[in-house]
Chains A and B, each alone.
Chain A
């Protein structure tokens, strides 16, 4: 089966610092990736996506980097705020089928 893993299960950062959350994926045929944020008691919230024909995409305070050579995905959050505290998941979709595979998640805690 697919394997999407996260390097760090927990991450603590000071408010105002930048956060980097990493994700490794195993299927080189994956061509679409999404980062989600999940707060306690809520469903995952779409943050940003990237297709395999790109290596970087920026959103509001977030940047996703894709390194296909080493099958690595990262989410960078600029000027981290207390409201960013949540579990972050990466999801990959292979170029065949319509199923997404999710990582186990990284819990981000922002220290005021």
Chain B
């Protein structure tokens, strides 16, 4: 069974730009969660989607948004990028709420 895939793997953007990251969950998984990982803050929860609905949201500004499609694929968008948004963005999928499996991540660098 294929794992969680994320695209692109690496991205370099300039301050003020926006970015869209994509995540394809494991087949049959309906829950997709997004996390930001930085050396200083560790893994921080962004939001979680289940059946196209956002079920949970972390403490991030409104510049961070997401959505989930009917095939469970998910995208997250960051608008008006700041230097501090440089991080590894991880997507994780699960059937319902447990056994969360992560993708390889998207490394975003904001210059």
The B interface, classified by DSSP as helix, strand, loop or mixed, is strand
Interface flag for B58 (CB, 8 Å): yes
- Cβ-defined contact, B48 with A104, below 8 A: no
Interface flag for A43 (CB, 8 Å): yes
Given the interface pairs A98-B56, A104-B42, the reply to whether A32 lies near B98 with Cβ below 8 Å is yes
B6: chain A residues at CB < 8 Å are 43
Q: Can you pick out 25 interface pairs between chain A and chain B where the beta carbons lie within 8 Å of each other? A: A1-B59, A32-B98, A42-B104, A42-B105, A43-B4, A43-B90, A43-B103, A43-B104, A44-B43, A44-B92, A46-B100, A46-B101, A46-B102, A91-B100, A97-B55, A98-B31, A98-B33, A98-B50, A98-B55, A98-B97, A99-B48, A99-B56, A100-B45, A100-B100, A104-B42
- The size class of the interface chain B forms with chain A is 20 to 34
Residues 19 to 34 of chain B near chain A (Cβ within 8 Å): 31, 33
Q: What is the number of residues of chain A that contact chain B, defined by CB distance less than 8 Å?
A: 22
- What separation, in Å, do the CA atoms of A103 and B41 have in the docked complex? 10
Beyond known contacts A43-B103, A102-B43: 20 more, CB 8 A cutoff: A32-B98, A34-B100, A43-B6, A43-B90, A43-B102, A44-B43, A44-B90, A44-B102, A45-B102, A46-B100, A91-B43, A93-B97, A98-B31, A98-B33, A98-B50, A98-B97, A99-B33, A99-B48, A102-B35, A104-B42
| CB 8 Å contact bits of A28-61 with B (1 = contact, 0 = none) | 0000101010000011111001000000000000
Shortest beta-carbon distance from B93 to chain A in Å: 11
Using CB atoms, name the residue of chain B closest to A46.
Answer: B101
